[in-house]
Chains A and B, each alone.
Chain A
Amino acid sequence: MDTATLARAQMGLSLAFHIVFAAFGVGLPLLLVIAETLATRTGDERYRLLALRMAKGTAILFAVGAVSGTVLSLELGLLWPEFMRRFGEVVGPLFALEGVAFFLEAIFLGIVLYGRSLVSARVYRLSGVMVAVSGAASAGFVTVVNAFMNLPVPVQWDGDRAFLEAPWLVFTAPSAATQVVHVLLSSYAVTGFVMAAVHAVMLLRGREPSFHRLALDVALPVGAVAALLLPLSGDLSAKQVTRHQPWKLAAMEAHFTTQACAPLLIGGLPDEATGTVRFGLELPCGLSLLGAADPNAVIAGLDQVPLAERPPITRTHLSFQVMVGSGSFLALLSLVALGWRWKKKEWPAQRAFLVALVLAGVAAPVAMEAGWLVTEWGRQPYVVRGLLLTADAATHVEGLAGRLAVFSGLYLFLAVTVVGLLRNLFREPEPTLVPHAA
């Protein structure tokens, strides 16, 4: 592999790893706040015990998210020196804001984790809310960086270095709003469903059924509502991509030929050389309908994109299929679960439902990773669309292969340890409550 490919592999690995923990950093504080609120509203102290357990899990996941995020900030400079040199001025302020948000999140999380006995119940609840808000804000700022890379706002040039006369204009990157909403919703869906899956496993094993049913009350509504909103936000994203990033849409859909009444491709294996798709199911006019809300709309195909500027089609298309497939499963399951809960005032107790929840706990992070791959691969061969090629942005340092191996080993070790520790959390005896300060 050449150096640029190795740099991409290392960055991709680091991001794929970090994203999961970042999502929990956004979602878990919200669940914590909900559990605390339920405890106060219902007077049922078991919710508070649940919140305490979750706080421990949050600490572990947040720590790994924080350190892997620190590494990413270093890797930006190490692996992509040309990107930072030319666009550091534009994206830098966003990272600065993200740093501020992260700082707030860390401080308030410190209060939530260690300060229970030091602050009043009111300050404690407010701290929980602040963790949730600042976690969401920091994810939002980073997503705006990605939105800029996907579709840059017009920049001024100082030689070959970009800058913005009005630096906040970076927030007007055309896909910023749709991307931020989609990222936040998917973080909530992932957190809700992974937590629900963990408790579903416990219920399947018959452990402390009343406690774990209670946990579903906290996790499932968040996961399910997010999973139902995600297709709507995805639809907005699709329309945005159709209008402004036709190359990405064409790669996502393996849509080779520009045409009116373009079909929606479901599944299928694209053959990039011949421009055909095998084994796919085509819904007539579906793509025109979804992308432009008009069955007769002309949808630009890959034939409009110069060969050298085409994203990798097979990978982008398959990732998109995985995302949509997993997301549809989650949405369907959410519809059933919420409907049942509404009619019968409780979650379905059937074994099949619990098994489906466990599957959803896998499908949700898979969908999120796949969605991230769609947006990254769909932007290639550029790191900043139209302005800087990925290959030109990468470092020229030799010996990246060894480092990639070391980092892979490190992340594997971290992942295994985190899973082991979280498992231990459930073996420990019930935590005890510490009263608030007056």
Chain B
Amino acid sequence: MTPDSRQSLVSLSGVAKTYGSGTLALEGVSTEIARGSFVSLVGPSGCGKSTLLRIIAGLIEPSAGKISWPLNGGARPADIGFVFQDATLMPWARVFENVYLPLKLKGVSRKDAEARVGEALQRVGLSDFAAAYPRELSGGMKMRVSIARALVTEPPVLLMDEPFAALDEFTREKLDDDLLELWRGQNWTVIFVTHSVYESVYLSERVLVMGARPGRVLQDIHIDAPFPRGRAFRESTGYVARCAEVSAALREGAEA
């Protein structure tokens, strides 16, 4: 475990969430996430990963505990990109309009936005579908539109909830690499939820392994392989060992 020398961007202490229905979705989550870091959350279905991400985004309030943003004088940064677990597109709007939305809401004119929207669509390989309606896209394509929408504002903080789960292995690996490149190039902070142990190890500097009932962080595993990572890392013994470590932590959580 190497302690992070970077400044802490967001700090959670004893965060818990009980939903109105009485479900205890999270309990006692305390962690720090450094600015510029890439952190993954893995855990069984229903362990509160989406809930934690929503709390960090400020979409729901924790029912106990504190979340603070020390770098920003305690306030949440205004520009947070969020990719929902399902694509969450506006069905009545074409792909272009969907990706343009964040800029539109910030008052950027269509003309000024065109190039940036085009670039975001190109990143996810959907340049040819700008005029299509979401209905006309496959599940994975919809998800990619949703990723393009999150990227279009170039947010310094990017929260992604299983963004690549619906994609084929090949596209997923390509987007993994694209994401890593963006993250390194732009000095973003990425918090990434995934079900895939392999993906979490490949992408992250840190993997937070979560357990269910109640949802909590079981282990905080540092992946200290250097970036850029590529094919070679994916096939290295170090990678396999890390994956085994994360899997073991998950299993432990399931048996506990």
* A joins B in a complex: no
Interface residues, chain B, with chain A CB atoms under 8 Å away = none
Interface residues, chain A, with chain B CB atoms under 8 Å away = none
